[in-house]
Amino acid sequence: MSAQDVHGHDDHHHDDGPHSTFSGYMWGFVLSIVLTAIPFWLVMTDIIANRSTAVLVLGAFAVVQIIVHMVFFLHMNGKVEGGWTMLSTIFTVVFVAIAIAGTLWVMFHMNTNMMPMHPQGVQHGAP
Amino acid sequence: MSNPHLNAGGTAALATREYHLAHEPHPENGTALGFWLYLMSDCLIFASLFATWGVLGRNFAGGPNGAELFDLTLVALNTAFLLLSSITFGFAMLRKQVNDKGGTLLWLAITGFFGLCFLAVELYEFHHLIHVGAGPQSSAAMSAFFALVGTHGLHVTFGLIWLVVLMIQISKHGLIHENKRRLMCLSMFWHFLDVVWIGVFTFVYLMGVL
C-alpha cells in the first residue's frame, strides 16, 4: 500500500477519477439487466408484429440503457471537468446522429435520385 | 505574467514578485478529459461502422439472412458476460478507493475472466458463421457484420491485454498514483465497450432477426 500524499486543500486535482459507490454500481447493474432482458424477451417471443414498431421500441430501450451506463458506470454529469466532458459527449451524440441518419437517408434515396424513371429521361451516349 | 520590474537585461533587480490570480484554476485532471475525448473519437469509428451496417445489413446476396444465422441465446450469453465484467470492474474500482491492492487485483482478474468468456463465445460464433459459408466475403451484410462486431471484439482483446499489463504493474508497484490513473482510464475504456455492445446487440442482432 502506498502512502497517501497529503494535500493542503481539496483533494480533487489528482488523477484518481470520480468517487464510486457500491449502490451506484448496483443500481446501474440491475437497471441494465432489466433493460437488456425486456428487448430480448420481446424479440424471442415475437410479441410485436409490426416491424417498424419493434425497431422503435428496441431503439428506445437501447438509448435508455446507454444513458444508464453513462450515469452509473461512467459517472457522467454536468460538473466533471468543468462541463467539458458533457459538452464533448453532446457534440459526439449530435455528430453520430447526423452521420448515421444522414448516411441512411442518402443511401436509401440514392436509387430514386440517381436513376431517372421516366422514359424520356434515359440518356444515350452520355460521356 | 510579465514582470514590470525587470530591466532591459532581464535581470531581476528587485526581489522576485509572485503574482496570483484572484481565482486559482484547479483542473480536476487532464487525463480523464483527454481519455474521454479519445473515447468520443472511437465513437465516431463505431458510428461509421453502424451506418455501414444500416445500409448493407439486409443484403445477404441470396444466402441465409440474420434470422437464420444469428443465435440469440449466444448473444444473450455474450451480453451477460460483458455486463458482469462491467460490474466486477466497478467492484475493482471500489477496492482501489480503499487502497486494497489484493481486492483490486482479485476483481480485475474476475473482470478479465468474463472478458475472456465474451471473446470465446464471439470467436465460436465467428467460426460457426464462417463454417456454414457466411463469412465476411459471402455478402455485403456479412462484410458489414464482421467489420462492426470484429472491431468491437478487437477492442475487447486489447482491453484484456491492457488489463493483464496493468495487473502486473499493480502487483509490482502497488496502488501508486500512476496506477490509479491507469485504472481510471481502463475502467472508462471497459465501460465504453459495454455501451457500444448495447448498440451491437440491439441494432445488429435483435433487429437482424426481426
pLDDT in tens, B55-65: 999 999 999 99
Residues on chain B touching A39 (C-beta within 8 angstroms): 202, 206
CA A47/CA A45 separation, integer angstroms: 5
Q: Considering Cα of B157, then B81, then B193, then B182, what sign does the dihedral take?
A: negative
Distance CA B203, CA B205 (A): 6
The answer as to whether B17 is a domain residue is no
Give which of B81, B206, B209 to mutate to test A binding, by max A Cβ within 10 Å: B206
3-class SS of residue B12: strand
Q: Does B13 touch chain A (CB under 8 A)?
A: no
Task: Flag whether B13 is in a domain.
Answer: no
Considering only alpha carbons, which residue of chain B is nearest residue A88? B37
Give the one of B51, B175, B184 whose C-beta lies nearest to A17's C-beta. Answer: B184
Cell of A63: 438509448
Q: For chain A, which residues make up each domain, given as ranges?
A: 19-75, 78-112
- The beta-carbon neighbor of B175 closest among A2, A33, A107 is A2
Q: CA gyration radius for chain B? A: 24
Summarised one tens digit per residue, pLDDT across range B169-205 is: 999 999 999 999 999 999 999 999 999 999 999 999 9
B102 vs A contacts (CB less than 8 Å):
none
- Which grid coordinates belong to B149? 462486431
- CATH code, B47: 1.20.120.80
Write the pLDDT tens digit of every residue in B85-133.
Answer: 999 999 999 999 999 999 999 999 999 999 999 999 999 999 999 999 9
Residue B168's domain comprises 30-209
B4 part of a folded domain: no
Q: Do A73 and B207 touch (CB under 8 A)?
A: no
Domain count, chain B: 1
Q: How confident is the model at residue B21 (pLDDT cuts 50, 70, 90)?
A: confident
Residues, chain A, total? 127
Nearest CA to CA, how far is A113 from chain B (Å)? Answer: 16
User: Does B14 reside within a domain?
Assistant: no
B146-166 mean pLDDT: 98
- 3-class SS at A105? helix
Residue type, B169: Q
Of A85, A100, A81, A61, nearest in space to B44 by CA: A100
Cell (9 digits) for A25 = 454500481
B7 within some domain: no
Residue B6 neighbours by CB under 8 Å, 6+ apart: B12, B13
In this prediction the pTM is: 0.84
Q: Roughly how many angstroms between the first and final C-alpha of chain B, as a whole number? A: 64
Answer yes or no: is B128 within a domain: yes
Contacting A residues, span 15-74, partner chain B, CB-CB under 8 Å: 15-17, 19-22, 25-26, 28-29, 32-33, 36, 39-40, 43-44, 51, 54-55, 58-59, 61-62, 65-66, 69-70, 73-74
